[in-house]
Amino acid sequence: MATVYIEASMSLDGFIAGPPNSGFEHLFAWCRNGDVPTSTANSTRVAYRTSAASAAHVRELNDITGTLVVGRRLFDTTNGWDGTHPMGVPTFVVTHTAPEDWKAEGTPFTFVTDGLAAAVELARWAAGDKAAGVGPGSVAWQALDAGLVDQVRIDLVPVLLGGGTLMFDRLGAAPVHLGDPRVVTGTAVTHLVYDVTGGRHA
């Protein structure tokens, strides 16, 4: 069955956003500080120009990803990525109520109203031989906390933000054990890929 991963750019002190909602210029500096372009399905919103090492890492993630699960708030904030998620794959939006005014035809979004676990299960099924990504944001740690995640991919950024939104806040399932990471050294980022090896739910 498809692997489920979560992924984030995180400061060394554990934040995926600084106080309040600042710090993105530091967290995502690695996405724009190199010579190697990597296009996405929505290059108006997201396009990379990174070190060669980071480019290979980003391409790998794009290649393995079959589906995504995202939260409703992010969907709304991005206006559904104007119809095209940068990863260009079927995307399951966790929500209490599907929006009435969203034209779903021709877009890759499916609204799931019976909870995160159901959305992850759908995404896992739909991903086939590929992987399902969950997040970013609170759905990522919720999935981790619920024991639904197989792989944790951290783009560790060499900055201390001192406050903001923690990647792993309020993790009730702790301790969660991970394997030793695969390490890819970029520029202003260290990519770490961990398999979840055990937790209260394992």
The position carrying tokens 């998620």 is 85
At closest approach, how far in Å is the CB of 193 from a second copy?
Answer: 11
CA dihedral of 168, 135, 96, 99, whole degrees rounded to 10: 150
When the beta carbons of 61 and 189 are compared against a second copy, the nearer one is 189
Report d(CA 173, CA 199) in Å as an integer.
Answer: 7
When the beta carbons of 25 and 114 are compared against a second copy, the nearer one is 25
At closest approach, how far in Å is the CB of 49 from a second copy?
Answer: 18
Cβ neighbours around 177 below 10 Å, total: 12
At closest approach, how far in Å is the CB of 129 from a second copy?
Answer: 27
Report d(CA 186, CA 25) in Å as an integer.
Answer: 16
When the beta carbons of 44 and 185 are compared against a second copy, the nearer one is 185
What's at 172, amino acid-wise? G
User: Is the preceding peptide bond at 90 cis, omega within 30 degrees of 0?
Assistant: no
At closest approach, how far in Å is the CB of 112 from a second copy?
Answer: 26
When the beta carbons of 26 and 124 are compared against a second copy, the nearer one is 26
At closest approach, how far in Å is the CB of 157 from a second copy?
Answer: 9
Closest Cα to residue 150, out of 168, 125, 132, 130?
132
Report d(CA 85, CA 125) in Å as an integer.
Answer: 19
Interface residues toward a second copy, by CB under 8 A: 12-14, 18, 23, 26, 144, 152, 154, 156, 158-163, 166-168, 170-181, 183, 185-190, 192, 194
When the beta carbons of 15 and 75 are compared against a second copy, the nearer one is 15
